[in-house]
Chain A
Amino acid sequence: MTAPLPAQAAPPAARPWYVSALLAVVAVTLLLLGAWGVARLKSPHPFYGMAYPAATAATGFQGEVAGGQRYTFTPGQGRVTALFFGFTHCPNICPLTLSYLSKVRAALPPEDQKRFDIVLVSVDPARDTPQDLNDYVRYFGAGRGVRVPEPALGQLARAYGVAYQRAEVKGAAYQINHTTATYLIDAQGHLRVLWDYTQLPQLDRVRADVQHVLETR
């Protein structure tokens, strides 16, 4: 009584075979599209930078910014942050990092720009005043320069895998040799990707990473 009906027993007039075939094709297509969509949302976007393992918490910090104000960085809170470490007596890598990141920001849609911050933490707190940092960051782009005094700076640097070291230069003021990565922190406060300095000139690919992180909540 529940034996499957022979194929030819299907109501002949109700639905021609080709409509069934078409519906089947549509159903399969929708299924594939849905699976692709889910996979796209779930699977890692092929990051241009180096991706972090899922749910790597970013470390917050406190410091001073221009105007004698205290600044607290709490990762996440709905905002996406590009964080890097540098110093204002750095005449090549640090200004260019700011310049590249500012160009990436300017290439985002306006509503995304409002959720994307650029933050420079000085690795030269002995020389960089909050005002110097502010002037420097504003000059080369848009963002915030923060002075974190020692020993908090050392702890913060360790948390991000940042290294810095004073270097004497004959005939000039000292320099700080430092690692040059930029860290992207998502709206949930997770570290998502880092770019090596040499990757930053590829503005479109950096922007695609930022856009992906802005879109995946």
Chain B
Amino acid sequence: MTRSMLLGAALLALVACRPAPQTAGHPAGHTGHSQNEAGTPSSVLSVHDARVVAVPPSVGDTSVFGTLHNAGPAPLRLVGVQTDAASHGMLMVTQTDPAGLTGMQDTPALTVPAGGDLTLSDTGDHLMLMGLRAPLQEGQTLTLTLTDDAGGTHTFDAPVVKP
């Protein structure tokens, strides 16, 4: 059930963010959001449907959802996320134990399969931004940077939206 819904959500996300025809010859699946440190369109990683959950000012942490696509031939192991908007970022997994208790736990890495997607969602893997430096405003855009285990960085923008 959960798996098929996640799959559905992933498919929807993919359909929803099929890039609008921009530059001719722009490879499908690359939205141009992913950049390397130098700021040039780079890596094998593209991010679709990225969104930061808007939270009231009384809440200091938030989640980031979306779909990560790895166009490369090797799995991409992400080991960190950071943004100027929060004191630190974390990689999280959501788990439900046999007693039915659901919660999230930090994880050292999230892996995007070769040529495949990793869906970041409320019921699965996601990113967390801890210690927001200022209350988030709906409609604001945050710039986030993912780091992979080879030291490569992947920067993308995510709007702040109410779920």
Contacts and interface: CB of A to CB of B under 8 A. Distances in A.
B partners with A: yes
Interface of A: 88-89, 91-93, 95-96, 99, 131-132, 135-136, 139-140, 163-165, 167, 169-173, 175-180, 197-198, 201
Contact of A179 (B58, B101, B104, B123): B101
Given A93-B122, A165-B101, A180-B102, A135 B62 contact: no
A172 B102 contact: no
5 contacts: A92-B126, A93-B122, A139-B55, A171-B130, A173-B61
Interface residues of B, number: 32
Given A172-B61, A172-B128, A198-B123, A93 B56 contact: no
Mostly, the A contact residues are mixed
Contacts of B163: 95-96, 99, 140
B63 A176 contact: no
B63 A140 contact: no
A91 B59 contact: yes
Interface of B: 1-2, 5, 53-59, 61-63, 88, 90, 94, 97, 99-106, 122-123, 126, 128, 130, 162-163
Nearest to B61: A91
A89 B132 CA distance: 13
A170 B106 contact: yes
A163 B59 contact: no
A180 B2 CA distance: 14
